[in-house]
A and B are shown apart, each in its own frame.
Chain A
Amino acid sequence: MRLSVKSATLLTLLAFVVVAPLFFPSSFYYRVGALIFVNGLAVTGMVILTGWAGQISLGHAGFAGIGAYACALAPEHLGLHPALAVLLGAVISAVLAWLVGRPILRLKGYYLGVASLGFGILVSMVLNNERDLTRGPDGIDVADLGLRGLLKDAGLDLSNGQFWYFFCGFSLMLGAWFALNIFNSPTGRALRALHGSEIAARTVGIDVPRLKLQAFVISAVYASVAGSLLALQNKFITPDVAGFMHSVEMVTMAVLGGVSSVIGAIFGAAVLTLLPQVLTVFAEYEQLVLGLIMVLVMIFLREGVVPSFLRKFRGNEA
């Protein structure tokens, strides 16, 4: 029996989350793993937006910034539990995405690219400038999620690194499960249809701008939650999380691995998260490498590494 894409993806992720720690040379790798999962989550949102709805955002880090700073600010100023702060960040991101996306998604594809670029820059400008609230470029402390303590009381004693590794791993699996549910549902079919032929999609009754807007909002929530998880595990966050380069990283990760495949995009996230950790000179060349990857993949391997590889491997099926 052949596995569906959904089961295959989820099983691969599960196997990776559980088995990888057996090979970790040091506990530092729990942290690297957790970062991979967080980036994987953000990039899964890009798959929905770019891979399936065919829209491009160059400002998704802005939403990650909102999610992250919600966790830094809401517990302190509103007395919210950090878990609720994650939710608050997601709601704010969704509302902003809706407001920004609504007029723009009626227009041609590059308009969203430009508008989201501007949006991202605006968010990071606010985070840098509003020192009274955000403490500016130096960053701000983030409250503890408190879940590790609860687990400990319940008899499961994990190190901080281990806890965040598994917590982010399972969050990613949940995110991937949602995305793959969409893929096979009527909504997913409509998304792929509009990607195939927008005109035909409209004539079969698909409200194209509305559907694109839904994809944009959902992907913004993914980025926001990823930003929250990043802030919570680091217990500290700087405005860099909302910076333009972070947006570019998200796009590049998705594009490298395969922007229309969840597992592909997560693979891309893994590669580009790992690289700077193993190659210390990478920071110097980051922009060069990201730029090159974007250009080369788009010209020579438009589907991305993983789908191209799978196609070779299994013959002509997706």
Chain B
Amino acid sequence: MTMFLIKKADVGKIAQELSREYEVYGPMIEKSSGQTFFDRVEDLAEINLAAPIPSNPPKAVVFPQMERILAYEYDRTKNAVKMEPDYRVVPKALVGLRPCDLAGMLCLDRFFMGQEFVDEVYLNHRKKMFIVTNTCITPFKQCFCVCTDSGPAAKEGYDLNLTDLGGEFLVEVGSEKGAALAAKLGLAPAGDPHLALKNEKVDKSIAMFEDIAVDSKAWISRVMNRVTTGFAKEEVWEYIGDQCFECGACTFVCPSCSCFNIADVSNPECAGCADRLRTWDSCSYEGYSRMAGGHNPRKPVEDRRNKRFFCKLSYSQMKKYLRPGCVGCGRCAWVCPGDIGLPNVVTYVRREITR
């Protein structure tokens, strides 16, 4: 593997170079609130590699909350339909992606593009992308990627991977695109001692989870077995379901959740014209799983919750993603009005096992 070094003061050059060819996205701190967002960067100086894990999942770049994917016009007199797909094929660079979020995006890749049917809209967002990951040398309060094998350092899927070694960043190259950029920047080569230092930093970070990542502890492996085989007791799901407010937040914030809704919105100013919107959706909503004819296979709310956790924690889903669906970012615990983020659910299912 090729490795380079870049001085802390120079790390901004990576985004600068990328901005010539790509629309740049990265972590920034919103001033009025102190909240981190992973968003389109207008001022490159705003990228903050030390910012805590972004509050929003970077999946929004490839899978926006609401996007127009098609415009159509029906001409009644000619009985003709005009359809215009609306894909934004713009090269995008993600700078400073956290490892868990990259793992989430890889799950989405497998969902949207890795099966029989390839999702054109997603593909068009995702192709021509440059990814720069950022190793977490300290975890954050709600993190548990060590339990889901998705951090605190990225292993695959990046073009460049950055690790803060103190005065400089280690730059690991993960692709030809990455190598080309490193060459263009004329970076100094790094050697084994630097890699050893990185590994030390990662081990230290893992050791810090005990004290820092206190909000979330999710021992996932035992629970996976239970969830997959359906042995988790019904009362546990009921206990969880009673606490669900059906807000949809856990799905929206999850870097690997892919539920969406399609809505055609007619234009009151143009008869026969409509926009087709794709919006985030959630399996926690009653209307989501409803089938035509009034049969809803997942009517009671505890069943709908069950589906989400099944999605995140079962082996069968793992086969699809080639990894657990949960990447340990802890966001769902943050936003859940019912206090049933994934770590708590894991605790409840485990409690049942140990009992």
Do A and B belong to a common assembly? no
Partner-A contacts on B (CB < 8 A): none
Q: Show the binding face of A for B, using Cβ within 8 Å.
A: none
